[in-house]
Structures are given as structure tokens and as C-alpha cells.
Amino acid sequence: MTDASKFIAIDGPAGSGKSSVSKEIARREGYGYLDTGAAYRALAWHVLDRGDDTADADAVRAAASAFPFSQGLDPDDRIVRVGDVDVTAAIREPRVSNAVSGVARVPEIRVQVNEMFRRIVAESEYPAVIVEGRDITTVVAPDAPVRILLTAAPEVRAARRAGELAGENAAVVAEALHKRDASDSTVVDFLNAAEGVDVVDSTELDFAQTIDAVLTVIAQRRDADRGA
């Protein structure tokens, strides 16, 4: 088992606030920040850039066999590259967002990418790395000292995401979130906390309150781990 002592694992559905919360806590505490979704997005971009379809599992495997991915852990300098190409902005484009689920559904890809996450964290110079995604608490680092499921009611998540996407219709955003959750949940359960995972429900919390709630869990769990 990979040593997961440097992991602060945070899972949650789309629109739960895990990215913005994780980045802010990393800034405050001097931690690294790893957005695992960026790796899947970058691989989806790589597949599309090769002229292939992410619905074709063989094409995804072929692209993954030559996937020169790199990502910065500084929460304020998170450049994502595939080879020498800066894809930081490109992986957020709708064509990639619409294709990424096809990549994430391939079991071998998840194994390969998860190993890459463990290596990135192990080799980092940060005292801890906040790693957020879908299955960090259960698959990537199930033995991490801090494991948190950050969630919120579906309508709240949709409203927040619509607010981030200026000009987008809230109903359209809500439908997109529902489809993404439904698709991704066939691969991994990120809506229910596994045993030993702390839940932070931000439905009734603002951003500052959510930060405080997550920081409290981190402090309690890390103190308990040091005292064990």
C-alpha cells in the first residue's frame, strides 16, 4: 500500500465546492493542491487531439499509453500540460467536458491515473497535499489520515455552478450536473461516505463557513493521527 500520510483526501459531486474550498485551504495552510479531475480532462483532450473518440475504449487505452501529463501543485499556479502543450484552459472547454466521462469509465485508465496521483503526492515537497476528486477517500488513498466527503443538496450545487458559468441557464446547468453525476456514479460512489470518512454538508453554509468546517475536520483528524 502506498504511504498516504501526505494525503488530505476530499471527494464530492460536481458543484459541491470541493475545488474552490480545497484551493483556499491549500493557500492558507501551505499545502499542495491536486485537482484529479484535471488529469482525466487532460487525457480526454489528448484523445480528442489524436482525432479519436473517448467513447472508444481501445482509443482511450492507446492514448493513455503515451500520455506525458504534468500538473503543478501550487494552488495559484496549476498549469496542466500534455507534453509541451499548455492545456490548462483547453481542458475546461465544453467539448472536453462532454467527453471526459468516456475516459473515466475505463477501469484500466483509473488504475493507471490513480498510481500517477500517488506518485505525484509522494514526490512532492509539500508537507501535505489536498487531493480532491471522486474516489480519493475510497480508492486512491483509503488510508489517508484525513478523508472528507464534501457535499450539498443538488439544487444548491446547480445554483452555485450556474453562478460560476456566467450567462448559463440554471435549469440547463442542473440537468448537466445530474447527467454527469449519474454517469460517473456508475463507476464510483461519490455521493455516500464510506466508513471512516467525515461528511461536510455545505447546503446551509457559505464559503467561509465551509472552509472553517473543513479546517476543523482536518485539524481533528491530523491531531488524532499524531496522537495514535
Residue 1 pLDDT grade (very low, low, confident, very high; cuts 50, 70, 90): very low
Q: Which pLDDT score is estimated for 179?
A: 67
- Joined grid coordinates for residue 161: 455552478
pTM attached to this predicted model: 0.83
User: Residue 86 pairs with which residues in a beta bridge?
Assistant: 81
User: What pLDDT score was predicted for residue 164?
Assistant: 62
| Structural domains for the chain | 1-31+127-228 (3.40.50.300), 36-125 (3.40.50.300)
**C-alpha cell belonging to residue 85:** 502543450
Beta bridge partners of residue 199, listed in sequence order: 149
Contacts of 67 (CB under 8 A, 6+ apart): 42, 43, 46, 82
* Percent of all residues in the chain with a pLDDT value above 90, rounded to a whole number: 64
Residue 89 has pLDDT above 70, yes or no: yes
Looking only at the bridges linking them, the beta strands covering 129-133 and 69-71 are: unpaired
| Binding region for ATP | 12-20
Q: Are strands 85-86 and 80-82 parallel, antiparallel or unpaired?
A: antiparallel
**pLDDT of 168 higher than 80:** no
Residue numbers in the known binding site are: 12-20
Sheet containing 146-151, strands listed edge to edge, beginning at the edge strand earlier in sequence: 32-35, 129-133, 7-11, 146-151, 198-201
pLDDT at 101: 87
Query: With 80 as the cut, is the pLDDT of residue 75 above it?
Result: yes
- Residue 15 buriedness (CB in 10 A; 0-12 / 13-18 / 19+): buried
Q: What pLDDT, on a 0 to 100 scale, did the predictor assign at position 14?
A: 79
Work out the average pLDDT over 46-75.
Answer: 95
Q: Are the C-beta atoms of residues 73 and 122 closer than 8 Å to each other?
A: no
pLDDT at 186 over 60: no
